[in-house]
Every structure is written in C-alpha cells, then in structure tokens.
Amino acid sequence: MAAPRGDARRGAPAQGPSPTGPKHVLLLPLLPVGPGVLPAGPAQPAWPDDAVRTLILTDLRELGARFDHAPQDPTMATLRRDVLALAAHDGVAGRVVWDLRADAGADVAAAYRAWAGNADPARWTFRANALALALRDWIRRQRATRHPGLRHIVIVGDDRIVPHLRLRIDAPFDRLDDGWVTETAYFQENTVGAGTAVGTALAEDMTLTDDSYGAAEPLAWGDQGLLHLPELAVGRLVERPADMSAAIRAFLRTGGDVTIARSLTACYDFMQDACAASDRLLEASGLPAADQRRLLGNGWTVDDLRAALRGEFDLFFYGVHAKHYVHETPSNGILYAAELAPLLGTRVRVRVAYGLACHTGLSTPGDHPEPTDFPETMVAAGVAFVASTGWAYGFDGEMQYQEKLLAGLTAELVQAPEPTFGEALVAAKRRYLLDADALDHLHAKTLAGTVLYGLPMTRVRLGDGDPAPTVARRDGAVAPATGAVGITEAAMPTDGGPYRRRVRAIVRARGLRRVSTPDGDWFRLADHAPRVQAGAPLQPQARHALGAVTLGGRSLAPRGAVLVGGRYRDIAEFRPLVRRARLLGLRPPAGAPAPVLSGGGWHPARLAPLAVLGDGAASQAMLHLILGQLHVEAGIERLYTALEVDVYYADGPDRAPPAVAVTAAAATAAGVAVSGSASDPSGIARVVIAWTIGDGRWRSTALTPDVAGRWRAALPPGAIAVVQAVDGAGNVAVVGDGGGIVGVPRESGPAPAQP
C-alpha cells in the first residue's frame, strides 16, 4: 500500500535500486514514551522477567512518521493501548520494546539510526542487514540472560520500520537448468516500485526473511553462506497502525484461540496434491469431509472462490498462480488483494490461512504500481497468514519445496496438542530440513522465504476443541503403511571410539516398482516418498528417524554416518526421469528438452547422508537411505536392495568433521594399494573404506591410523572405493562419490549389468 509520504524517510531521498531466544518474536514500531509524547499510562505489563513469553518490538516514532501521525494522534494512542492489552494477555505474557533506538542496546540503536537516516540508495541492503543482525543478537542475549521462557517474537511494522533480513540465494553453476528463477525477474515485471526498499532488494535478487529474529546459530550450506532456522515463532503486523490494531483486537476477542471446524482449500495444477494431502490429514484428525469446502482441479472459477470466501472458514489453504497483489484461478479469473477486505468482512471469517503461491507473502510498503498486497489485507482482517515473499516452487507428480512445507504445516497443526500457529510453522520448517538429505538453493529459498504475518501465538484446536489425535505421517504429509523396507538397529562394539549403532535396511520382495512415464523411468519404494531434486533423477529412498541415546547418564546425539555394506543390481540403458522445479503460471514451452544432467560419476553421491538438528536429549536426526544411483555418462541405474550404515553418537560442542585425504593410489599385482592421512583435534577413531568390485555388493574395511594419522589399505583388483574418517567426537568426513576415490584408477565404465 502507499504510505502518505511515500517510501522516503523524513529528511532522506526516496530509495532507488542499488547498482549492485524466544519462540515467537513480535516486532512493533513504537512511539517514544515520555511526557508530552504519549498519553500517560503504564509502559509495560507487570510480568516478571522469567514469565515473559513474547517480545513485542517496534519503533513508534518511525511508525508514526511513516503515516504522518503525530505522537498524540488518536490512532497511535489506540495502537499503544492495544499493544499493552496484547502484552497483558495470559497467552502472550509480553514485554514491549517501544523505541528500538533507546531500549535494545547500543548496537541496535546505532544500526537503527543508520537505517532510519540512510540517504544512499546503494546502502539500503547493507543497512537493513546490519540492523536485522544486531536485533537478532540482542534477542538471543535476552533469551539467554533475562527471558528463558521466550517463545514468540512479534514485529509490529513493515519492512521500513523493522527490516526483513536480505539473503542472496543463487543456483550453483551445475544446477542452472533446474527451474530456478531470480527475484530480479519479478522486479522487472514492474509491479513493485523501483524507488522502494523492497523494490531495491528484489532488483538485487534478494530473498526477504524474518527467520533470523527467531534463530540461534545460523546454518552453513553449500558455498553460499548462512541460513537461519528459527527456534522461536516470528510474526509481523503490517501495514497501517489501524490495521495492526484490528489484528490485535481480533486476537483478543477470541482469546487467541482458533477452533478449526470448517476449512477451505482452493488449488489447481501441480500444487493441488499438497491441498489434497492437507485435507486428508484434517479428515484423519476428525474434521468431517462435509465440513471441508474443496475447490480442486481446473474446473473452478474466481466466482466460486468469491462465493466460498463469503462463508466462514477457520482455515484457508490455497495454491494458485499469484503476484503480491492478485490471484489467478484456473480459468484465468482474477481476484485482487483489494477485494479481500469486503469479502472477509469486518468480522473474522477466516482465522488462519496459508498460500502456496509466488510472492503472495510479499509486503510492499511505499509507492508501487500495484500497492495493495495480500499480507496487509489479511492482517487487517485478523487472519494469521503464512506465505512466501518470493518465488514458491513445486514439483510435478511429487510434493516438494513449498508444497511439502505447507502440507507439513497442516501435519504439525494436527500432530501437536493445541499448537500455536507460529510454533507449528517452526516445527514444519525443522521437519522439512530433516527430510532434505542435502540443503540446496531451492530448499533454502523455501525455508527462508516463508514468513508469518499476524500473531504467531494464535492457538489452534481441531473440531470439538480437544487436542488433535496423533496421526502418523509420511515425510510431513501423509500417513504411511509399513512393509516395503525393513529397518533394524543394533549397538556395535565401540573399540575405544565413539558409541555407534548399525542400521540395516532390507527392501522386501516387490518393494521397488518401476514407474514408466513419457519423460523417463524411475523406481518407487512402496509407501515411501522418493528423493526429489529438481534437475536430478528421481530415486527411491527410505528415511529412518533417530534420536538421542542415553549412555552412562549422558545424552548422546547422532553425529555422523558411515557406509559399511550394501547389495545392488545395475540396470543398463536406463532413461531416468529428470524434471525441473515448477512455478505456477510459468511452464516450460511445449517440446522443451529435459534438464541437462551435469557432473560425472554416480548421482546422488552419498548413499546414507545424515541430517541432525539440536544436541543432547533434544536432538533430532534423519538417516536418508538412498536406494538408487545413476551413472550419468553410462546411463546405468544402480538399484539397492540392502544397505548397512554405522551411525556414530557423541555429546559436546564439537561438530567439525575431520580432515581426510588420499595421498597415493596405485594398481599392483595383487589389486589396488591406497594410502592417505586423517587428522582432527579430537583424534581419529577409525578410517573405514567401503568398496565394490562391481559384483553387486559393497563391503568395508576398517583401518586404524598410526599416531601420525596415516593409513593404508590393499583392495582387490578393479575395486572402486569411498574413504570415510571418524573423529573422536563421532563426526564423519568422506572422500569419494560411490564411483571411485581420487587417485584410484576408475573402471572404463560402470560395472556390467547384473542379471
């Protein structure tokens, strides 16, 4: 929406494009408190520090200035009273920061002054990130030293008041043909103003995120940088002060509770499987099909959607082609964000909503060609709303990326007893990350770009208000039937090293079924979601959840995984199914060639990647058992019917893998001689070489390095191998890709096909 004074701060020129602790955090722009500035009254509810569960953050001075409201303006006084009432609510237990220039430490104050007074368009992104990271660190300190029970962060104010963190996410050079689209492309559609902070960020191909405000330590991924995975639920109120007051009052009228007695889903094209999965989860949790209004497929119109929105639904889940200001239905009907206000009415008809649609979560404060966006309309109607600030990716035939995350949000709502909406989103993001065997640019975009507008502490109940029954789920979406693969665990001798457990996976007869499509073939493991990566072959996989192990009074978390054995067969002349990520409304032209596979050897490289979150008793881990690999050059599919993996456990802060190298490899009369080195401050517990000679089996040889960390091994003729080093803290480093290690003579081609 357009602010009365545009996007320029008082005394600063308009922006232009650049050439180049708690579980919930609520950031609110607040006016300065003091005589002659705000009406007299308490500045804080009387919560003890250890009872505070919500931080409400704002800068009232900046907020008022953005909308030409004087400090004593009745609108600002009303907002202040509403914020205090929110903070005093038993389900909120809030502490309010009214003035970020004075009440959040020297680092935040300095960063805020630089942000608010910036006059150089080339510095907007730098200033925004400096403030966002300073505020993140301050929140983290408050959680550690003052408010140990912090759960929510609420931001009252749009990007001009408390900025989103800007992330640059790029596709790697070997993944340029996987469907990736830059945010610059959206900026070039000329619906976002070039002279705004948001327009500048998009022009620079930045993804806008609020996750940093609720995160602890960021996660490193790829070669690109850091990703913040939230622990606290973050919500943001936008855009006019009156809209923020309306959202708070809607929350207070209902006591902050939502009972999902009726739902509405509206999806089409490849996105509708996520909506259908959400409906099935709701029905399995006790919401009758008769209370679920469904607009699925290509047969519904914009008038059908308008009529449905005039009804009353507690949950609205949609998957449509969209921009920040408009939804397009299957028949090319148009629903503008500005239409939602009269459709939703002055009383709350929809309580929680999430959008599976590109840029439907992009808030556009300031002057824009299309000024009214969905976040501001939803917030003004009292809706807690989750959507993407940028491109929202999906996949044909299988749920992945934004589809999977939002179907997983429904799963979290029906799994936990009376979760808050924000906490369910945090849990869905963490589950999503565990379900990904490798964090790439599309996963990072999905996680970082998904934000919550409204109040994250909105508590969700199902049906009659009782806690939801436990529903088994498949990868955050659909309940599985077991039986396609048998997975067992057993403790193994430690031999003086870290504790380890052996995981054995055996695919049962007819558990793998070949699926043939006009675009290629793949193998499905019954009742298990496949490994889906845009621009790469679909492969069967099983996921095995792991938790902490208690040993001698210590809680040990999974740290690393080592391949020790497996059985496979090779299928020659295999034409794999490879698809790009999809964006609704952007379809490859008819007859477009399949994505070009890049890289050599076997793909994916790792057969048993391990994803771990947290430590000690609270740790969560997922062992990914990849049951298919493709040799790209030779066109051979290697299909696994058994895998054996050792998982190592430890406690303590050491998460860094050891250094390992192959220093010599040569063919001998007896086979292949391999030697190398491994080192780590915690010591090297063992080196394990997994190898195969193309006979349908992986075997392993365990080595004990000498005091200098040197190791050597003799392998059979024609062996290809993977070297795996385990340090004293259970961390694992790997050299090799399942098709040969550096320096070992490769076969001229993959092993011959097995009968």
pLDDT at 219: 84
Q: What digits encode the pLDDT tens for the residues 72-86?
A: 889 999 999 999 999
What is the band of 368 on the pLDDT scale with cuts at 50, 70, 90?
confident
| Tokens representing residue 434 in the block | 């565990």
Q: What is the mean pLDDT of residues 25-50?
A: 57
Q: What is the identity of the amino acid at 255?
A: G
Lowest average pLDDT, out of 44-48, 77-81, 677-681, goes to: 44-48
What is the band of 175 on the pLDDT scale with cuts at 50, 70, 90?
low
| Residue ranges of domains in the chain, CATH in brackets | 255-462 (3.40.50.1460), 485-735 (2.60.40.3800)
pLDDT at 748: 27
- What percent of the chain has pLDDT above 70? 85
pLDDT at 664: 82
Q: What is the mean pLDDT of residues 706-713?
A: 86
Residue 186 pLDDT > 50, yes or no? yes
Q: What digits encode the pLDDT tens for the residues 207-229?
A: 999 999 999 878 877 666 789 99
Cα 288 from Cα 276, distance rounded (Å): 14
Measured in whole angstroms, the distance separating CA 310 from the mean position of its chain's CA atoms is: 32
Contact 156, 27 (CB under 8 A): yes
Residue 21: C-alpha distances to residues 129, 150, 215 (Å) = 19, 6, 7
Q: Which residues contact 290 (CB under 8 A, 6 or more apart)?
A: none
Residue 615 burial (C-beta neighbours within 10 Å; 0-12, 13-18, 19+): middle
Contact 267, 318 (CB under 8 A): yes
Among 622, 620, 586, 626, which residue's Cα sits nearest to residue 604? 626
pLDDT at 590: 53
Cα 688 from Cα 479, distance rounded (Å): 37
pLDDT at 594: 62
pLDDT at 593: 60
Q: What is the mean pLDDT of residues 645-657?
A: 93
Residues β-bridged to residue 752 = none
Model's pTM, two decimal places? Answer: 0.89
pLDDT at 601: 79
Q: What is the mean pLDDT of residues 285-296?
A: 92
pLDDT at 530: 94
Q: What is the mean pLDDT of residues 663-678?
A: 84
What is the band of 684 on the pLDDT scale with cuts at 50, 70, 90?
very high
Q: What digits encode the pLDDT tens for the residues 395-432?
A: 988 999 999 999 999 999 998 888 899 999 999 999 99
Q: What digits encode the pLDDT tens for the residues 614-644?
A: 888 888 999 999 999 999 888 999 999 999 9
Tell which wins on pLDDT, 533 or 120: 533
Tell which wins on pLDDT, 344 or 484: 484
Residue 15 pLDDT > 80, yes or no? no
Cis amide bond preceding 604, omega within 30: yes
If one counts every other C-beta atom within 10 angstroms of the C-beta of residue 621, the result is: 21
For residue 577, give the DSSP letter.
-
Q: What digits encode the pLDDT tens for the residues 563-611?
A: 999 999 999 999 999 998 998 766 555 555 666 666 667 889 889 999 9
User: How many H helices and E strands in the chain?
Assistant: 14, 39
pLDDT at 122: 83
Cα 139 from Cα 29, distance rounded (Å): 16
Q: What is the mean pLDDT of residues 69-73?
A: 82
pLDDT at 369: 86
Residue 62 burial (C-beta neighbours within 10 Å; 0-12, 13-18, 19+): buried
Residue 219: C-alpha distances to residues 158, 224, 230, 365 (Å) = 26, 11, 11, 30
Return mean pLDDT, the chain: 85
pLDDT at 622: 95
Residue 709 pLDDT > 70, yes or no? yes
